[in-house]
Structure 1
Amino acid sequence: MHVILVGSPAFDSLEYHLSDALQVLGHTTLIVDPAAEVFLPAKLTYWAARFNETYDRLVAERIATRIVANRPDLVLVIYRTMHPVLVDQLKRQLPGVTIAQINPDALTNLEKQQIIASDYDCYFSKEPYVVSALRDKAGLPAYYLPEGFNPRIHRKPTISKADAERTTNMDVLVYGGLYAYRARMVEQLIRAGINVVVFGMEGPYLNAAVKSAFRGRYLVGEEKNQLLYGARIVFNNLHYAEVTSANQKYFEINGIGAFQLCDHKPTLDDYSGIPTERVTFGTITDAIDKIRYYLSRPDERYELAEQQYQHFQKYHTIDQRVSQLLRITGLQSSSSTAYETVGR
């Protein structure tokens, strides 16, 4: 089967991992990058598309033309801001080909709700709240699909956790976009006297304390594996608009074998291989208390991290998610049980 993905081909992106998993499962793939189909630089394109529908439609039509020329059996659209004409044109020119949307973003990132206005054959979301709204109220064919990790990219280093921690020598590591909400929580940790190191993309309005903890680069590949695994605690504070779901990092951290402390969300009970109350927090005070507790108990950290690592290897790979997606779309036989389970 030939699958086209609409999104970013960047290494470690969701599109990259979906493509990789599809190839492992025996399919061919092509990532069509909307940024390569536009006439203006990326930032200008974003604003032009927001305020000029003619330009927005033209970009979508160009992308549709390229997709049609490659004759796919399945189209997966990951970008959430595509004009609905994209799906309309694909359905006219590719009758019978499934067009699906995968939204990995938090609820606040739906822009102008283009994905809701588009007539996709399937909508996949990691957020049960969004699935319910789309399916039960908007009448759309929406399905729950959690995120996962890529076992070929997100790999545990070969040294022991204790040796990795001695080499890295970081008490608490935070990574990702340093937007204001995350920065405020980092600030609270620093004020509590916790040694925090931050990697990722710098956001606006950072105070001096948070800037001093910021290392100024985005973690990918082997460096990410080594630093997450080597940090004593990886602090994963989820976006405030993650209503009940987890982010991609939640799966990556556990898949690498790192020790993770994150916000409690209802879906984590379905994902976790250990009682979630042991490795989640409800308030920043609770987070600080648990950080102090686990920093003084390395053996307990190692044991919990290893239990999560084994559990996530068994149940939460991107290969399993892709296999589930293909079953839902009817493109893979339901008799295949290799990747049946999403939760425990």
Structure 2
Amino acid sequence: MERQKSLETSLLRKSQSIREKKHTKEDVLLRKSLSIRERKAPNDNGYLENGFTPKGHPNNKEFHKHQSEDCESSVTVSVCIITFIVVTGSFCVGCGIGFSSVAQHGIMNELSLSVAEYSMFGSIMTLGGLIGAIFSGKISDVLGRKRTMLFCEAFCAIGWLFIALAQDALWLDCGRLLLGIGVGIFSYVIPVYIAEIAPKHVRGSFVFANQLMQNCGLSLFFIIGNFIPWRILSIVGSVPCVIHIICLCFIPESPRWLAKVGRDKECRAALQQLRGHDVDISHEANTIRDMTEISKQNGEKTQIMELFQRRYVFPLIIGVGLMLLQQLSGSSGVVYYASSLYERGGIEYKHSHIEYIFY
């Protein structure tokens, strides 16, 4: 009996010791888990004990990076309004392109122009566009996108004034040539400015507004040209130019151009106006600055002959070839002389411009 009792007491002691060990292990694990939680919990300033911040906390750099990227990709009211102001220049381009067709009968009858003289008036705009397009890139890089648009509108406004006051073919040709120069520069600087201020994911949609507003100006002149004398119509064409000049004074310069010329403070101010005053634009500003530095370094080493390397020749031929074929299709000639073309097709002069709008 005594031996049995001693065995029972020894078993009881062993079980108690096992329980005590188990409890101590649980206590240790519990303490470790509590200490880990305390370390993971941020303090009042948002920092952990090891100096880092939680992934989703506003003090975390990654959090700010993603937040600024979201703000960069957001379309603000400011961007929409500024884009609308800029494409007013495209509207002026459309008005200038459509003028020669709707004013043909009035100008030829009042100034007694021959077909050859009026053909020169209609086509000289393309010569002006060629001159403007050749120098558009250099002018835009020197003056900036905003001042280049103001420069274009000066050409367009003076051109409309020459046409409105014209007493002979020379005045008409000078005015039309000035319009063409403005149109040639506009065709470069407006898409570039919009592409430089628009968020990445909607850049194509915003640049499309350039062509849309050109067609709006063209359609408007084809409609009202049936009811307004050609001199008054030329004054109407100058009104959007004046409005555009005034509105351009209130929009910012392109942030990318400002970064390119080393005006970092103005670049950040322009970005802040575009993205919103409560938005962190540091990530986008740094990206623009880095891309500008890379392009400068590459630009110093790049020569024009590198375009004719084997890897660039095929894309270059496709791109330039498509643009060349578009012009050789004669679309500009159809627009400039639409009224006479439709008349020869048996459509009345008054209805020819309405028909062309649907074309």
Q: With structure 1 as the length reference, what TM-score do the two structures score?
A: 0.23
Query: Is the helix fraction higher in 1 or 2?
Result: 2
Query: Is the strand fraction higher in 1 or 2?
Result: 1
Larger RCO (CA under 8 A, 6+ residues apart): 2
